[in-house]
Amino acid sequence: MADSKLRKLRVPALAMLAVAIGVLVIWLVGRGAKPVASKSGGSGGSGAAIRAPEGPRIATDSGVRISGFVIDGAGAPVVGAEVSVELERGVPDKSLSITPAADAGVVVVDAGVAPTVHVSAATAADGKFLVGGLEPGRYRLRVTGTGLLPAEVRYVPVPSDEVRIVVARQVRIEGTVVDGTTPVANAYVGLRGEAIGGSIETRTDGKGAFHFADLPEGRYQLYAWQGALAARAVRVNRLGAGPFAPIELRLESGAIVVGKVLDRETSTGLVAAVELRPIGDDQAPRYARSGDDGVFRIEGVPHGEWIADAFAPGYTSPGGIELEAGRGIPELSLVRGGAIEGRILDGNGQPVAAATVRALGVGQNAPELSAAVDQDRLRRFSGRMSAPAQVASAFGADPGFIPRGELGVTTGPIPPIPPPGAQHATRQASIDATAFVGEPEPLVIDPARASIWTTTADGRYRIGGLPKGKAVVLALATGFAEGRSKTVVVEVGQTIPNNDIVLTPGTFITGKVTDQHGAPVVGAQVNAKPELGAPLTAFSDIDGMYKLGPLAGTFDLAAAAYGHGDARRTIDLPAAKGSTPDERREDLTLVVADAILAGTVDDATGATVAGATVELIGNDMRRSISGDDGTFSIDMLAAGAHRVRITHPDYPPVELEASASTGAKTRARLRIPLGGAIEGVLLDGASGAPIAGMAIAGDGPGNITAEATTDKAGLWKLGPLTPGRWKLVVKQPGYLSLVHPLDVPASRAPGTTSVRDVRLDLARGALGGGTVRDARGQRAANAKVSVQRADGTGPVVDGTTDTQGEFRIHDCPTGELTITATKADATGVTRTQIRPGDEILSLAIDLR
């Protein structure tokens, strides 16, 4: 009996012991667990907090999180995208580190350790994503997904408002090239757009078909050519998921432009990059390279007026020359620029290797000449866009800004994707445009005259291609403050020797960033901008400390942080003596921005508006989405008046003023007007067939613009629009330009159409040309030629005669026409009958 009782007591005791052991094991494991992202094991420094990769771990919601929405170029949510988040490596931001260190401001790049990558679940139907378990810091966000071009957003602060990432879908542009009704094989097709960083080409197959696949969303110019035949450029919009109709390009008579690039002094040919740009924006520019003899050739140029210009390193251009395509042989004379030579030395007179130099003109709108500027010129004259802005470095601009394009700018109506009441900031994801167009091939240049932008062991530099004027040379090298030369006067063709620059160790600026209560401000961005030279940027660490430099001379010091006001001051540093840098302390105070902008959005009927985007203008694109009751709130602002932009898919955009106050004591009532909308169809005036993929542009009151694209049935809708007088404009090669004015009233209800059944019939145009002669029978150059229907109705199309007195006018009206030529006080008139699609080039007009 006693043994039985003992056994009964032993069972619960053993159970309790097992539970205790289990708790102890869990506690020990918990002590050894590591956070998802932690600081690197190295000693102090201001590099990003990173760690070696580990095996799979159970997801945790500990730490801070980043959330937001992914949308496409048309403003629609992107479903199924994957957002990965990675702590930036090597960023000079001590706020990313858990443990403070004494050497704040020094950039440390640890390329040998990979940071942890956090991946979100696929975005939902509203484009929403969320990643948790993060440490405070700056992160790189990568967005991938089916049908998307891989893109990234750099240096996003965490924590912050919800982000709204605009990415580019993969789109296609395809179609055919025809001559009349016959498909043209092996024709060249050009595509130009900012989304791809310039121009790319392809050729048609045996059936005249062409395809551009895997393009980013955007607006493009599409054109074609073969020998002396040219299809004029059409504008193609590819925004959103599509589908999109194929494009037909019609070849017509064009020209081959052959010219020459010369040294103006010696009249010898130059190897150069040549640009042929249209006068007006209806055509895409053309590009070529001249050979050793300076000769260049550009095929398939549409008739009309163009400007030809050229770039060669070490030379300056007096400006392009105007020409009529196919008339004469243009000669582009370039002028050999001035040059400055010298050495970069340290305080002991020893040469400094690996120093970079650039020249700045003196005065307003003074030009800069550097390796980067020269490369940008080569890009421009080779059909590429300018290089994207560099993302964050110790000497770069604000790393919070995105390299390509403006933050928060989206095209098309913006739907209320975020949930009501959310605050967010839009960021344009960047893609590498060089993947489409690549970098241009360098031009051959005589090494004896080539610029030396980076010094070698002898410390020598040379800057060529300077225009006439005053200039100063700036030099930058590791371990030295940026130095500058004396101001020199440069003449074209002149070389100024022995313009040496002595670099000094300069002064480091250190200090503490606090709020008005003395609390340290972590992650504040501190910028130093010299009068001349590159700005420097640093970030405050966990104690609010920062360090940047070396600097010399006079500069502006500014600090800013999320949720705080700015601080600015001008500092004049004396010259540093000796071989080691000086140090100067500058503490900065940022006042906490504790005001709140709160209120309600309603419309002209007094009804509250849910899902409206209230955006602070010029405040890092901070936004809030109004809730079901129309209320919104944006915190951490400076007290006082703020300008806001309000957008909603059912209302025209409007800008208003509202006040932020501490504790939201003052509430704003933002009233937005009702808008209108236009619906219609675009048809071929001759056949009545719908015209697909055509852009319909609208010009409204106050220079407001809007744009729509026709679908496969030729249908289109423009809205929401500001009520008032609008003008619809359609321009398409082969058709007469159409302008359709109309009044747009406000709709009775938000988002509804107020003008319906607008029919736009595009009439086929014709090509008219001929010769204008004066009273003596001589060909009259630069005479103005106007074409209009004989009854005085319809549009007037103008042109100008070339140096041979000849003219060609595309897309002329059709029917009985009056063609009038004028020059000075003389006038000549002729009449003719032209049918749609005709080409009449034998018109003769005599001036009297």
pLDDT at res. 393: 27
DSSP states along 709-728 = E--TTSEEEEEEE-SEEEEE
Average pLDDT, the chain: 81
> How does pLDDT run across 395-438, given as a tens digit for each residue?
222 222 222 222 222 222 333 333 333 334 444 555 555 556 77
Report the share of the chain in percent with pLDDT over 90: 43
Boundary-marking domain end, from 762, 777, 799: 762
Is the confidence at residue 13, as pLDDT, over 60?
Answer: no
Q: Please tell me which residue, 137 or 457, carries the higher pLDDT value.
A: 457
> How does pLDDT run across 331-365, given as a tens digit for each residue?
999 999 999 999 999 988 999 999 999 999 887 66
Q: Are residues 177 and 313 in the same domain?
A: yes
| Domain harbouring 806, CATH code | 2.60.40.1120
Lookup result for tokens 């990769």: 53
pLDDT at res. 62: 53
pLDDT at res. 248: 92
pLDDT at res. 75: 77
Which range, 84-93, 113-122, 215-224, is most confident? Answer: 215-224
Phi, psi for residue 297 in degrees, rounded to 5? -145, 130
Is the confidence at residue 110, as pLDDT, over 80?
Answer: no
Q: Are residues 549 and 613 in the same domain?
A: no
Is the confidence at residue 804, as pLDDT, over 50?
Answer: yes
pLDDT at res. 514: 94
Domain tally for the chain? Answer: 6
CA-only gyration radius of the chain, Å: 33
Question: What is the rounded distance in angstroms from the CA atom of residue 134 to the CA atom of residue 121?
Answer: 15
Boundary-marking domain end, from 555, 589, 623: 589
Task: Give the torsion sign (CA, 639, 643, 645, 651).
Answer: positive
Residue 139 belongs to a domain: no
What is the domain extent for residue 786?
766-846
Lookup result for tokens 């020199």: 488
pLDDT at res. 414: 30
Is the confidence at residue 530, as pLDDT, over 60?
Answer: yes
Q: Please tell me which residue, 154 or 653, carries the higher pLDDT value.
A: 653
pLDDT at res. 432: 53
Task: Give the torsion sign (CA, 491, 495, 496, 500).
Answer: positive
Q: Are residues 602 and 681 in the same domain?
A: no
Residue 164 belongs to a domain: no
Which range, 283-297, 352-366, 634-648, is most confident? Answer: 283-297
Residue 373 belongs to a domain: no
Residue 616 belongs to a domain: yes
Lookup result for tokens 């390509």: 404
Q: Are residues 537 and 621 in the same domain?
A: no
Residue 438: C-alpha distances to residues 196, 433, 459, 783, 827 (Å):
10, 8, 32, 43, 52
Q: Which amino acid is at 435?
A: A
Evaluate whether 478 touches 503 at the Cβ level (below 8 Å). Answer: no
pLDDT at res. 411: 26
Boundary-marking domain end, from 762, 790, 807: 762
> How does pLDDT run across 439-476, given as a tens digit for each residue?
899 998 888 889 999 999 999 999 999 999 999 999 99
Is the confidence at residue 327, as pLDDT, over 90?
Answer: no
Q: Are residues 616 and 737 in the same domain?
A: no
The CA-based dihedral angle spanning residues 146, 148, 153, 159, taken in that order and rounded to the nearest 10 degrees: -50
Is the confidence at residue 60, as pLDDT, over 50?
Answer: no
Residue 480 belongs to a domain: no
Residue 767: C-alpha distances to residues 687, 735, 764 (Å):
20, 11, 10
Phi, psi for residue 31 in degrees, rounded to 5? -65, -35
pLDDT at res. 435: 58
Residue 86 belongs to a domain: no
Neighbours of 27 (CB within 10 A): 9
Beta bridge partners of 287: 275
Q: Are residues 282 and 225 in the same domain?
A: yes
Nearest to 650 by CA among 469, 403, 366, 413: 413
Q: Using H for helix, E for strand and C for coil, what is the string for 399-441?
A: CCCCCCCCCCCCCCCCCCCCCCCCEEEEEECECCCHHHHCCCC
Q: Are residues 575 and 600 in the same domain?
A: no
Q: Are residues 832 and 714 in the same domain?
A: no
In the three-class reduction of DSSP (H, G, I as helix; E, B as strand; rest coil), residue 200 is classed as strand
Report the share of the chain in percent with pLDDT over 70: 83
Residue 350, exposed/middle/buried by CB under 10 A (0-12, 13-18, 19+)?
exposed
Q: Are residues 795 and 657 in the same domain?
A: no
Please tell me the least confidently modeled range out of 109-123, 491-505, 669-683: 109-123
